[in-house]
């Protein structure tokens, strides 16, 4: 199958490599001429995946029209902040086509201002020029390990199950196992919101808190993700799956996680305005924290970790006050569904 990947950062490059391993004709689009030339000629992407050798069959290009006109499936893997503009950039080429492609995305975030999920942004811009409802690929998957062909499991979500199954077939192989899911909302929210908790874990570890505190943050983090997601209409069980608990574990416990790294740097006193460029790659959790705190307020859902992190990052709340905010709140019951239906 002809598959085009739009976004040649770490995740787009690693996914292009999986698709090439599966024998697909892969075109990888990026905006940076140097990166694209390096992928095309040396089969390497040293800025984002240093040391990795990529499949030589990947065709890397900066020509967006060529990338869009040929593909039977298009995978969008740009940062959240660039998703709407990217859809607008590819739209004219999709309009020209008689046979429309399947659109998949693997981006984890919530759009600033609108609070829309990525599938909602894509469908708002492209609904009439795609072959099927948008498909989401999400789950515990650091690009560094995927490009090294280490065992990885993910979910593909689509409200049309047969399209999800087609995309499952596209990606599945001996090191990359994919499960289908029809809960697009839950899968997208799990992937986006775990970045908030990973940032908070990085801060906690950077400040020398112990393992008990990290376990508390992950568990209560999952509780508030589930509370918001259920309020929005997701299946609560989705958050115990790969794109919920699975992704929470991998980002809160791994030094590969850019969100975790950014949190660690914030704990060392790095400025929030420079922390993303210090990490050198996109840190989605910074803006998602703001968007999720606003969303929780709008929907009247309690998200104490998210709102405390928002105040820590954006309003200079001192760390001891942040910890007191969480620890000295009125006593609560742990039961999620019985006492707090959402
Ligand atoms: N790196 C990983 O292991 C994983 C990343 N993701 C998600 O994938 C998405 C992309 O992240 P990464 O590839 O890791 O980021 P990255 O920081 O490695 O690369 C970002 C890429 O986006 C490009 N880009 C930035 N602004 C752009 C714009 N306005 N238009 C077009 N391209 C633009 C950059 O040139 C670069 O190629 C994020 O939402 C991330 O959460 C999901 C799973 C795993
Ligand atoms: O989503 C990821 C792994 O599943 C990547 O997380 P980071 O963006 O924190 O590196």
**Cα separation, 270 vs 276, whole angstroms:** 10
- Classify residue 183 as exposed, middle or buried by CB count within 10 Å of its CB (0-12, 13-18, 19+): buried
**Cα separation, 45 vs 325, whole angstroms:** 43
Look up 194 and say whether it is catalytic.
yes
Quick one: what percent of the chain has pLDDT higher than 70? Answer: 98
Atom number of ligand 2 nearest to Cα 139:
4
Q: What is the Å distance from ligand 1's center to 60 Cα?
A: 16
Instruction: Give me the pLDDT at residue 339, please.
Output: 53
Same fold, 2-182 and 188-327: no
Q: Express each pLDDT in 127-167 by its tens digit.
A: 999 999 999 999 999 999 999 999 999 999 999 999 999 99
Looking at the domain covering 188-327, what would its CATH class be?
mainly alpha
Q: Express each pLDDT in 202-241 by its tens digit.
A: 999 999 999 999 999 999 999 999 999 999 999 999 999 9
**Are the C-beta atoms of residues 259 and 199 closer than 8 Å to each other?**
yes
- Show me where the domains of the chain are located: 2-182, 188-327
Mean pLDDT of the chain: 96
Q: What is the Å distance from ligand 2's center to 84 Cα?
A: 21
pLDDT of residue 341 exceeding 60:
no
Instruction: Give me the pLDDT at residue 318, please.
Output: 93
Binding residue ranges for sn-glycerol 3-phosphate: 108, 139, 141, 194, 247, 257-259
Does residue 30 have its Cβ closer than 6 Å to ligand 1? yes
**Cα separation, 149 vs 153, whole angstroms:** 12
Instruction: Give me the pLDDT at residue 336, please.
Output: 64
**Cα separation, 185 vs 238, whole angstroms:** 9
Instruction: Give me the pLDDT at residue 230, please.
Output: 96
| Count of C-beta atoms within a 10 Å radius of residue 14 | 28
Out of 282, 283, 285, mutate this one to test ligand 1's pocket (max ligand atoms within 8 Å of CB): namely 282
Q: Which fold has domain 2-182?
A: Rossmann fold (3.40.50)
Q: List CB contacts of 61: < 8 A, sequence separation 6 or more.
A: 27, 28, 29, 36, 40, 67
Does residue 140 have its Cβ closer than 6 Å to ligand 1? no
Instruction: Give me the pLDDT at residue 327, please.
Output: 95
Q: What is the Å distance from ligand 2's center to 154 Cα?
A: 13
Rounded to an integer, the average pLDDT of 319-333 is 94
Question: Residue of the nearest CA to atom 8 in ligand 2?
Answer: 258
Q: Among 286, 76, 246, 75, which Cα is nearest to 171's?
A: 75
Does residue 138 have its Cβ closer than 6 Å to ligand 1? no
Sheet holding 2-6, edge to edge: 59-61, 25-29, 2-6, 73-76, 102-105, 135-138, 152-157, 176-181
Q: Which residue has the tokens 């698709």?
A: 19
Catalytic hit among 2, 53, 194, 321:
194
Atom number of ligand 1 nearest to Cα 108:
39
pLDDT of residue 342 exceeding 60:
no
- Tell me which ligand sits closest to the C-alpha of residue 242: 2
**Cα separation, 284 vs 112, whole angstroms:** 11
Does residue 108 have its Cβ closer than 6 Å to ligand 1? yes
Instruction: Give me the pLDDT at residue 337, please.
Output: 59
* CA distances (Å), origin 315, targets 22, 205, 311, 323: 47, 21, 5, 15
Instruction: Give me the pLDDT at residue 340, please.
Output: 56
Does residue 192 have its Cβ closer than 6 Å to ligand 1? no
Classify 73 as helix, strand or coil: strand
Helix (H) and strand (E) counts for the chain?
15, 8
Does residue 79 have its Cβ closer than 6 Å to ligand 1? yes
Q: What is the Å distance from ligand 2's center to 263 Cα?
A: 13
Q: Express each pLDDT in 41-73 by its tens digit.
A: 999 999 999 999 999 999 999 999 999 998 999
Instruction: Please give the model's pTM, rounded to 2 decimal places.
Output: 0.97
Rounded to an integer, the average pLDDT of 27-36 is 98
| Residues framing ligand 2 (Cβ under 6 A) | 108, 140-142, 195, 198, 247, 250-251, 257-259, 284
**Are the C-beta atoms of residues 140 and 118 closer than 8 Å to each other?**
no
**Are the C-beta atoms of residues 284 and 79 closer than 8 Å to each other?**
yes
HSE-CB at 249 with a 13 A cutoff on CA atoms is 9
Q: What is the Å distance from ligand 1's center to 108 Cα?
A: 9
């Amino acid at each position: 199958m002809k598959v085009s990947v739009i976004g040649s950062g770490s995740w787009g490059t690693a996914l292009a490599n999986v698709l090439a391993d599966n024998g697909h004709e892969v075109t990888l689009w990026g905006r940076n001429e140097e990166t694209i030339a390096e992928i095309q000629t040396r089969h390497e992407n040293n800025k984002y995946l240093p040391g990795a050798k990529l499949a030589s069959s990947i065709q890397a290009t900066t020509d967006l029209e060529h990338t869009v006109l040929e593909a039977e499936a298009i995978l969008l893997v740009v940062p959240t902040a660039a998703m709407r503009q990217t859809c607008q950039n590819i739209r004219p080429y999709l309009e020209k086509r008689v046979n429309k492609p399947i659109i998949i995305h693997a981006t984890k975030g919530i759009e600033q201002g609108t609070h829309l999920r990525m599938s909602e942004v894509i469908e708002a811009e492209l609904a009439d020029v795609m072959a099927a409802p948008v498909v989401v690929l999400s789950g515990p998957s650091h690009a560094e390990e995927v490009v090294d062909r280490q065992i990885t499991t993910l979910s593909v979500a689509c409200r049309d199950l047969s399209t999800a199954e087609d995309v499952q077939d596209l990606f599945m192989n001996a090191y990359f196992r994919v499960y289908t899911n029809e809960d697009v909302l839950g899968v997208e929210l799990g992937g986006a919101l775990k970045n908030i908790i990973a940032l908070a874990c990085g801060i906690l570890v950077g400040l020398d808190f112990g393992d008990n505190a990290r376990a508390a943050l992950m568990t209560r983090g999952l509780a508030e993700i589930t509370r918001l997601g259920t309020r929005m209409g997701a299946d609560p069980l989705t958050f115990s799956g790969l794109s919920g608990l699975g992704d929470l574990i991998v980002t809160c416990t791994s030094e590969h996680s850019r969100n975790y790294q950014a949190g660690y740097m914030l704990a060392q006193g790095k400025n929030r305005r420079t922390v993303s460029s210090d990490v050198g790659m996109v840190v989605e959790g910074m803006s998602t924290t703001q968007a999720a705190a606003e969303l929780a307020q709008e929907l009247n859902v309690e998200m104490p970790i998210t709102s405390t992190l928002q105040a820590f990052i954006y309003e200079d709340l001192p760390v001891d006050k942040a910890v007191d905010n969480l620890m000295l709140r009125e006593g609560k019951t742990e039961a999620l569904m019985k006492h707090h239906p959402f």
